[in-house]
Amino acid sequence: MSALQELDRPRLRAMLNKVPEATVFFWLIKVLATTVGETAADFLNTNLHLGLTGTTIVMSALLIGVLVAQFRVRRYIPGIYWLAVVLISIVGTLITDNLTDHFGVSLRITTAIFAVTLAVTFAIWYASERTLSIHSIVTTRREGFYWTAILFTFALGTAAGDLLAETLNVGYWKSALLFAGAIALVAFAWKVFRLNAVLAFWIAYILTRPLGASLGDFLSQSTKDGGRGLGTVATSAIFLTAILAVVVYLTRSHVDEEIVEIELEPSV
């Protein structure tokens, strides 16, 4: 076989997936990050004195910077990836808060808007790539779809969590229990009834956002509002410290990394 023919033959190349495996550490940091997203957004909005819209712009700029770094790296790096998740959690919360508090859009409408937007994102993603699996984030386009979906899951989760806890007066800790129970049911359906793994993942991923938001509000809000009065600073600090500890462990252990083999197109 000639050298040219050898170059033209399709090959397999091992590439590192750009997102971590959905291990227990993944779900742990996800819940921690969503809690921080709720409390940190409240803290920043109160203390930056830029107004809700100004705070959203500043945090969005930081998120874009981290996402640029995330897209440039060729593999999953825990520090960059999870920093992007924390920031996108904050931005998703601020977007929802902007719509409800600044523009007067009701939580029912924002929940519906983000549910439809997320569904459209998934539809376009699947039509383009024929998969929504997180085990296949090995191209820039798929990563783009992934982070777009993540942003809308956070915005949707914020709206749905606030709708249940505040507008419908369920309360923070009861809302947290309801969302935790829903996640448990999804896990049970996946384990026992063989619910599609990709569908189960995304349902659970969406539900962890209002779970974290309800937990964050329960810990940070004053006792007269149904919380525990820890405040946004203390709550954010506790959860950020926990996230940092787990990320350091993952960086050293590499237990949540996976190698995905993809077939490259024949060279021309």
Q: Give the tens place of pLDDT for each residue, 134-190.
A: 988 988 999 999 999 999 999 998 888 888 888 888 888 888 899 999 999 999 999
Strand pairing category for 259-263 and 12-16: antiparallel
Let me know if residue 263 belongs to a domain.
no
Domain annotation covers residue 5 = no
Q: What whole-number distance in Å separates Cα of residue 90 and Cα of residue 198?
A: 25
Please report, for residues 70, 87, 124, 225, the alpha-carbon distance to residue 154 in angstroms, rounded to integers and kept in the order given: 18, 11, 19, 23
User: Residue 142 domain-assigned?
Assistant: yes
Compute the average pLDDT of residues 57-71: 95
- Give the least confident one: 14-23, 96-105, 140-149: 14-23
Asked if residue 194 is part of any domain, the answer here is yes
Entry pTM: 0.86
Q: What is the arithmetic mean of pLDDT over 104-112?
A: 93
pLDDT at 109 over 50: yes
User: What SS3 state is found at 193?
Assistant: coil
Confidence of residue 16 (pLDDT cuts 50, 70, 90): low
- Examine the pLDDT at 98 and tell me if it is beyond 70: yes
Band (221; pLDDT cuts 50, 70, 90): confident
What does the pLDDT read at residue 113? Answer: 95
Position 55 in a domain: yes
pLDDT of residue 11: 39
pLDDT at 263 over 80: no
- For residues 38 and 90, the model is more confident at 90
Whether residue 52 lies inside any domain: the answer is yes
Judge contact between 50 and 250, C-beta under 8 A: no
Identify the domain containing residue 111 by its residue range. Answer: 22-255
Please report whether residue 265 resides in a domain.
no
Domain count, the chain: 1
Beta-bridge partners for 261 = 14
Q: Is residue 174 part of a domain?
A: yes
Distance separating alpha carbons of residues 91 and 155, to the nearest angstrom: 8
